[in-house]
Structure 1
Amino acid sequence: MTRNTHVAADTDPPAITAILARFVSTHPGRGWNDAVEREAVRTFYNWLGCAIGAARHPAADAALAALQMLEPAPQAAVLGRSERLDMASAALLNGITSHTFDFDDTHLKTIIHPAAPVASAILALAEQRGASGRALLDALVIGIDVACRIGNAMYPEHYDRGWHITGSTGMLGAAAGCARLLGLDTQQTGMALGIAASQPIGLREQFGTMTKPFHPGAAARAGMLSALLASKGFTASARALEAPRGFVQVVSNKRAWHEVSDALGERFEISFNTYKPFACGIVIHPGIDACVQLRAQGVQPQQVERIELRVHPLVLELTGKKTPRDGLEAKFSVYHGCAVGLIFGRAGEAEFRDEIVNRADVMALRGKVHATVDDSIDEAAADVTAVLRDGRSLHVRIGHAIGSLQRPLDDAQLDDKFMSLVEPVLGRAKGTRIGQECRALATLADMRALTALCVP
């Protein structure tokens, strides 16, 4: 599947680097409505649970061991662990863990997971500086806006080329959020964005490996370093984003410049953020949702002759692994997602553990899932039929999966998800306290009060 076409360079693009720098540095604090503020809190809360939940994953162990070889100064917390690192390394590691389960937030228009790079960078910096919860929320909203607006301008062409758009725009969002937290002026913020523009990170080839979550972590570190460099007078091109040989025109033939500037400061992309009920690639969610519904209708795995799945072409392009070998690979297997949805009635992180992926009944049902491409089906949809051994067929069509903008997780469902991730690592009592602090995030005088709770 490809949508690439050759497009000549735009030699007279709008000055989006300067436009974004002015927005980041001058937009009023809490300069949005209550709905935007609510999603900012929900985004941070969801991200924090995902980061803590994966604190003991082998990817976290390996990354921490490597970073400790650098003998870092103990400036910031590693969420869910007792170790401390320098703030840039903490941003990297917390970015890795927050995306390891593939359970973090999704900006559906671009498939960007914006909190992983942005929140990971600004929390580590906020802890080192003793910044307030209000300052962190402002940086989060603004940083996510920058990353997703650039994504809007390039998606889907940039993604179709093979870029992992979370990493390849995340360094810009992280730089913007950190510049805001540091109080950089417009000129310095432009330099931070310019420095970050030379550090796009992430290729889709890495999906299903530990390097996929490395992308947002590395973007968080790159964005933070860009802002720190700019704060000390380090320079970059003032047209680093839009110039003919600048970031956008080099990595994408789609250049919808208006997506960057339209309603800037009035419409906030965090408003369109969503939170996953299933711990895997977002395009699998409609198929899982359908299989969960089939189970609720009484379909049992042993009754199934085959499961016929019709999906958009992107689903098989991204998640067509028929025989995943471990949990990371299974997160990109629509076959595994449908199998566990029918067997367990859910697809949380537990259903993507290695032992479940290689369990005999799961493997058997996975082999009965037959997926075919149907260009008439939207990326957000799936058409699923369970053909039973007794000759009956049960059909479910999903237009929008649970967790989408049309069927969002409510606060109680988000609480349940958060506790399912945090309780195994830190215990229920501490998880409850962290949740209370997150709900009062705007009133926290010092983010170190929260990070102190997020370690064993």
Structure 2
Amino acid sequence: MSKIDRRALIAVAGLALAAPELGHAQESGKPQDAAAPKPEAKGVTHTLARYVVNARFEDLPETVRREATRTFLNWVGVAIGGSHHETLDVAVSALAPFSGPPQAGLFGRTERFDIMNAAFLNGVSSHIFDYDDTHLKTVIHPAGPVASAILAYAEMHPVSGRDFLNALVLGIETECRIGNAVYPNHYDIGWHITGTAGVFGAAAAAGKLMGLTEQQMVFALGLAASQPVGLRESFGSMNKSFNPGRAAANGLFAAILAAKGFTSSDGMIEAKRGWANTVSTKQDYREITEGLGTRYESLLNTYKPFACGIVMHPAIDAAIQLRDEQHLKPDQIARVDLKVHPLVLELTGKTAPQFGLEGKFSIFHAVAVALVEGAAGEKQFSDRAVRDPVVVALREKVVPVVTPGIAAAQVDMTVTLKDGRTLHRRIEHAIGSVERPMTDAALERKFTDLADGVLPEAQARRVMALCWSLETLGDAADVTRAGVAQA
């Protein structure tokens, strides 16, 4: 099979970062009439299940395997980095008295939990910084639900790196295709699509490693459909990272039950009263069934250079560029005007964040801290940063305005200085996008920064090397064993 170029694939798809227009277009090119009867869909769940069950590692293009490896490396790094956040401390303390046998470890920590709770906790850890991978077409964070589920399972039932990587790709394919079918309407209603679609990815990937039959995989997907988790109202709180963690555990739960013959409907995705029709006013089942094995959503995955909501990245990129080029100081700045897409204020419109997690959803804070500190890593979205008097003063000068013609991947920034000069920067594609991807070296620097203070440098480098060599590992769980803290 020939290699697939990520940029060419995006050009064909006509993608723009998280743009609502993507999902509203119908085959006729006209908006869907909500009152018109919808043709009954059949066989969607079975078609997807059949593909997952039969898909072989040998059939994966090299480009897909490579991107999945980068996805895994990035996910392990953010899971290690988030492992000692207050959110994890609270969750570990709350769940420890109820955990079953110590079957699986947690990145960056010494505790061991049963695989269901380990999947949940690693999923929370990997998302708490909002620094994980992003499928820009749907704003799904693909790795959290899938990798958390199957790595926990792999500690109890050893699997090769090849089988693990294949399951990871299939899980990502499953969740993103299902997400494509209902985005953006599903997201607009208020669902957190990483949780609601992620549970399908976790179930499919875990079911693949368990060797489920097609009918069992249909049941696993059906049980996943019965467990949608995550609302956008949770953004800015610990609850947001709960969603991918719970999706991981729920998907693993679904696969385990299905493996023992626990039944579900055969059409839980597409049936009249199934998942897609219940949680969304848009259903495009072609996104799920067409191009299986030839069109890979993994190639559309991206990695964040900034630890916050993806729609703020263009503005942060512009702010850092202007700061560094002009050697700007906060006391020089009179006003910062931004022309932005509606999603920016809808998702990141918090004007006065009080905590670091809230800062991740404040365009005002993100621009101000980028101009003050020249960075937007985890330290810039800490409680310290959002309360810094210099940052607070500058964020009051940030004026974002929703502007027609500005795509979600773009920003138009004008910085007015107190001496009357104006500085301008327009970003078409921020660093970290598919058009300007993070290099392998940049991903390694991100990993190292996240592991700093959590694992010794030599240990972090060992984990990183295992991630890069995932495809050749005899036991994929070697990554977890290398990444836990030493007692």
TM tier relative to shorter chain: over 0.9
Q: Is residue 2:210 matched to residue 1:216?
A: no
Q: Extract unaligned runs of 5+ from structure 2.
A: 1-19, 25-31
Q: Distance in 2 between matches of 1:423 and 1:324?
A: 26
Say yes or no: does 1:328 pair with 2:328: no
Instruction: After TM superposition, give the deviation of residue 370 of structure 1 in Å.
Output: 0.7
What does residue 161 of structure 1 align with? 189
Q: 1:36 aligns with which of 56, 59, 64?
A: 64
Q: What is the TM-score normalised by the length of structure 2?
A: 0.92
Among 39, 42, 52, the residue aligned to 1:14: 42
Does the Cα contact within 8 Å between 1:11 and 1:243 map onto a contact in 2?
no
Distance in 1 between residues matched to 2:80 and 2:406, nearest whole Å: 36
> 2:100 aligns to what SS in structure 1?
coil
Name the counterpart of 1:175.
203
1:407 is aligned to 436
**Other-structure match for 1:189:** 217
The 5 A counterparts of 1:33-432 are 33-298=61-326, 299-432=328-461
TM-align CA RMSD: 1.3
Find the residue that maps to 1:425 and give its secondary structure.
Answer: coil
SS at match of 1:305: strand
2:306 and 2:36 mapped to 1: Cα distance? 41
Distance 1:250 1:224, change over 3 A: same
* Aligned partners of 1:132 and 1:444 also within 8 Å: yes
1:173 and 1:33 mapped to 2: Cα distance?
Answer: 20
**SS of residue paired to 2:423:** strand
Shift >2 Å, 4+ stretches: 1-11
Aligned pair count reads 456
Return closer, same or farther for 1:424/1:8 CA change in 2, 3 Å cut-off. farther
The residue that corresponds to 2:473 in the other structure is: 444
What is the alpha-carbon distance in structure 2 between the residues aligned to residue 8 and residue 369 of structure 1? 44
Q: Indicate the SS of the match to 1:254.
A: coil
2:33, 2:244 → 1: CA distance? Answer: 28
Corresponding residue number in structure 2 for 1:453: 482
CA distance in 2, matches of 1:448, 1:284: 35
Q: Residue deviations 1:43-90, cap 9 Å, x none?
A: 000000000101110100111111112132100011110000000100
| Separation of aligned partners in 2, 1:231 and 1:161 | 33
Q: Could you tell which deviates more after superposition, 64-73 or 180-189?
A: 64-73
Distance 1:236 1:9, change over 3 A: farther
What is the CA–CA distance in structure 1 between the aligned matches of 2:311 and 2:48, rounded to whole Å? Answer: 31
Give the deviation of 1:120 after TM superposition: 0.5
Distance in 2, Cα, partners of 1:169 & 1:9: 25
Q: Percent identity of the aligned residues?
A: 52
How far residue 10 of structure 1 moved from its aligned partner, in angstroms, is 3.1
Give the CA deviation at 1:8.
5.1
What CA distance in whole angstroms lies between the structure 2 residues aligned with 1:287 and 1:326? Answer: 21
Cα gap change, 1:74 to 1:357, in 2 (>3 Å)? same
C-alpha distance in 1 between matches for 2:261 and 2:149: 20
Distance 1:7 1:207, change over 3 A: farther
Q: Secondary structure at the match of 1:396?
A: strand
Q: Is the 8 A contact 2:308 2:360 kept in 1?
A: yes
